[in-house]
Every structure is written in C-alpha cells, then in structure tokens.
A and B are shown apart, each in its own frame.
Chain A
Amino acid sequence: MKTLKALLALVPPPCIRILGAALSLMAGLAVALMFDYLLYRIGLPSKPFIYVSF
C-alpha cells in the first residue's frame, strides 16, 4: 500500500484525476453489468421446473 502511495505521488496531479475518472467509469460499468445480471436472476423462477410442472 505504501509503495502504491509512493508511486502515485510520482504521478502528476492531472494524470491522477484522469486515472481516478477512468477507474470510476470502469467501476460504474462493472456495477451496471452486475445489476443487469441481478435483474435477470431475479426474473428467473426460484422453484425448479419439476415442482412447478408436476
């Protein structure tokens, strides 16, 4: 963690801002993907086919 902080200290502040924005964007994309999948799984029946059909 300390090494990471030391490395980040070497990066110019405008680049840090761009990196933060890019990481935030990617996090947003990842959460959107998970949310989409969650909606799909919620929409699937929870009872197995065999108990519904017979």
Chain B
Amino acid sequence: MSSPNPPFPPPARFGWLHPRWFIIGFALGLGSLALFGWKISRTDYHPGFTRFHSLISPEGNYYPTLDEMCAIARARCRPDQVLVIVGGNSILLGVWQKAEDVWSKRLQDLLGDRYCVINFAFRGGSPTDGGAVVAEALRNEYPRQILIVNEAPVTNVESFGHGPYRYIFWQGYFGGRLLDAPKREARIREYLRDYPDQRLPVLETRISVWFDAVLHYHDFWNWMTFKYFGTVPSYREEYFPHFLKPRSVYPDPEVDGTDPIYAEQHYPLSSLDAEMRIMRGLLVYYHREADGRWVLSDRSTSDLAMYGDEAFPAPLKKRTLVLISGNSPYYRRLLTEDDRAMVRQSYLDTVAVWRRVGYTAMEYGWDYTAEDFGDRTHLTKFGGWKLAAQVAPEVSAMATRLGYFR
C-alpha cells in the first residue's frame, strides 16, 4: 500500500553512487584497458602460428588486427632474416593442406634459416589484402622483405584491398602506417565518389580506427576471445554456449586433400558445368586473329596494366612476387584444343603485363597433375610442394637482385 504523502523529491535509486568516484573508476578502467590493449597489440599470442584458419579469421567472425599480425611477424622473424610474407587467397592459405603439410612450411624448409616465411593469406583474399598491408606497415622494421601474392589470370586488382579484409587496409591507412601512394589515393577518392553508399561506412571505420588507436579495444578483446573466452559467435560453430570457448582451443580444421576419403569431393559432377563455365570465362577477353593466335583485347590489357600498376606503391613493386594461379588439368582436358590454347595464352599474357608494370611474376600449375589439385584451383599438399619448389628459387633470385645479402 502506498503512502498518502510520498516524499518529495523521491529518494534517488542510485543515491549511494558517488559521481566523483564513479568517474574516477570509469577513467581508471578505460585507461587500464587501453594500456593493457596497447601491450597486447605488441605481443604475439598465437603460439605455433601457421595461418589464419577458419576459426581465427573473418570467416569465423574473428578479425585479426594489423597490430596482431605485425606482432606475429615480429615474434618469428629475426632482424637478420629476410621476411617473406605470403598474402593472397585460399590457394596460398593452403586449402586442402593440413597445417603440418602446408606449402608455406615447405617453402620455409627450402629457403632455409636466412628467410622467415609467414602465411597471412585469407580465403577469398586479394593480393592487396592482409599480408600486403602487414608487409607495407613493416617496411621500415624489415626493409629486407618479399611479398608473395596470387591472382587468377586477367583479373584486375584493387589497390586498397577488398570485401571482408579491407578493414586491415583501413587500419593501416587511417593509422598513418602506409606509404603515400598518389595513385592509390586517387583510386580511393574515385571509389568514394562512385559509391556514395560507402562514404558513411568508411567514415565510421575512420572514427573507429582513431578510437582504437587510443583505446586498443580490438586487440584487447581479440586477445580475450583467442585466449580465454569467445565473446563473438562464430559462423562455423553452434551457438550458445559453444561459442564461448576460446578460439585457441580449436585446431586448424583444414584436411589433407590427398586422403582417399575426400576423393569424391575433388571433382564432383554436380559442379562440372559451373567449373567449365569459369574455365571458358576468359573467352570474353579474347579474340582470334586470322593466323589463329589468341589476343587479349586492348581494353583488358590496359585495364590489367593500370590496376596492376596501382596495386602497390612504386617502391614496393620490386619486392613483390605475383603468382598467376593455374587450374586443374582435370577440367583443362575437357576444353577443346582451341580453348586450351586461349587459356594458356591468358596465363602468359597476365604474367607479361604484371612484369611490364614492374613486378616479378610467374604462373604455375600448367604442368601439374590432377592429383596436385584438390579441386579446380586449390592445391593438395603434392601441388603445394611443387609450388614451393617453383617459388623458392624465384624468392632467392629476388633477394639476390634486391641486394639483401650484400
């Protein structure tokens, strides 16, 4: 029963709260978290790191930060070693290869102790994502560095990353850790002009990067998620309470594609049509001359050259090795002889264009067998090892050319 004369003013619900002490606690808490986050951002907490597998990458709702990746590189690469960063997509990540067999480990074995190979490739990544940003951010700490990236033939590369991994580029870009690159700047301005719907998200990212530069909350909560408990559900794990498990307890889920139990998954008949359409897709860029030669259209050639030229800042081109990824002969043999000639020409043309605009480039896969591939484009460990054997001498030659051992 309520009192007939309630007190006025009514007693405050949080009357016990001392505003001054509350504000001191808030400031102290935020300051301590920021300090701890800053320390975490310079600490490697990925023991035995091999690659960002699906539970510790954006696929699994875990977004490694630029600082986190730089810390991984610093913890592994001695100043007297040449830092070799592998960027690119799922092919270089090593899909169909278990962590212990992954091609980048073989590359490390072949290159020896003078080099330190770190795999920062991501599924669906482009040459300018993840690893490329880390390499650029570490250019002064590790001036002796080589970046290995890959791309499909006749594919234009955006200079500021793409899709789910662009946040790493923005962290470097808005954090002032990347080189001034006028062509890239122009491309970003053009992007914001042509896609007005992206202006607000980019502005939000910019503000977020500024806040994070002071408070380091991304590094702190990533560390918490990785080591102690997951605060963000993973798309690859059942919901509550499973997502609370720390990400460090999940093993790398990638399987060995050479295991016979996966034989039927490599080239399923259900995807034959789609894969063949992809194989023949390059035809739109080509025409045939009267003498039977396949020729890449002028427009495609100039686009490829322009995007390639802008993809990396000029001073970093010489240390970048671009691999043009081949397709499995399983599908290639189903092409007509003419189409096969066109596909072959597309690899040669793409390599030639990348070289023309200042990179070291090579293609791989044409002489590989169907067993070297786990599907149309990903390599099994056998293919990965062939790739490592092909790439290692090229990396050594680049290091010599760049005067890294002088």
Contacts and interface: CB of A to CB of B under 8 A. Distances in A.
Interface string A18-50: 001111111111111101110111111100111
Contacts of A30: 29
Contacts of A39: 208, 211-212, 215, 217
Given A24-B18, A24-B21, A25-B24, A36 B33 contact: yes
Interface string B32-51: 01000000000000000000
Nearest to B211: A39
Contacts of A29: 25-26, 28-29
B92 to A, nearest CB: 16
B22 A27 contact: yes
Contact of A45 (B17, B30, B167): B167
A28 B29 contact: yes
B interface secondary structure, majority: helix
B355 interface: no
A50 B68 CA distance: 23
Given A29-B29, A49-B59, A40 B21 contact: no
A29 B61 CA distance: 27
Contacts of A36: 29-30, 33, 215, 217, 220-221
A33 B33 CA distance: 8
A32 to B, nearest CB: 3
A52 interface: yes
B61 A35 contact: no
A27 B24 CA distance: 10
Contact of A32 (B19, B20, B33, B208): B33
Contacts of A33: 29, 33
B61 A49 contact: yes
Nearest to B225: A40
A48 B17 CA distance: 41
B112 interface: no
Give the size category of B's interface with A: 35 or more
Given A36-B30, A36-B215, A45-B167, A24 B17 contact: yes
- The range of chain A's interface size is 20 to 34
Contacts of B18: 20-21, 24
Contacts of A48: 61, 235
B246 interface: no
A25 B30 CA distance: 12
B218 A27 contact: no
Contacts of B208: 39, 42-43
A53 B25 contact: no
A24 B22 contact: yes
Contacts, number: 104
Contacts of B211: 39
Contacts of B231: 37, 40
Interface in B206-257: 208, 211-212, 215, 217-218, 220-221, 231-232, 235
A24 B218 CA distance: 27
A38 to B, nearest CB: 9
B58 interface: yes
A37 B61 CA distance: 15
A41 to B, nearest CB: 7
Contacts of A24: 16-22, 25
Nearest to A26: B25
Given A37-B221, A45-B164, A52-B164, A28 B235 contact: no
Given A28-B29, A36-B33, A36-B217, A44 B63 contact: yes
Contacts of B10: none
Max chain B CB contacts within 10 Å: which of A22, A29, A48, A50?
A29
B12 interface: no
Interface string B1-25: 0000000000000001111111111
Nearest to B14: A27
Contacts of B28: 25, 28-29, 32
B124 interface: yes
Contacts of B221: 36-37, 40
A-B CB proximity, top 7 nearest? A28-B25, A32-B29, A24-B21, A25-B25, A28-B26, A29-B29, A24-B18
Interface of A: 20-33, 35-37, 39-45, 48-50, 52-54
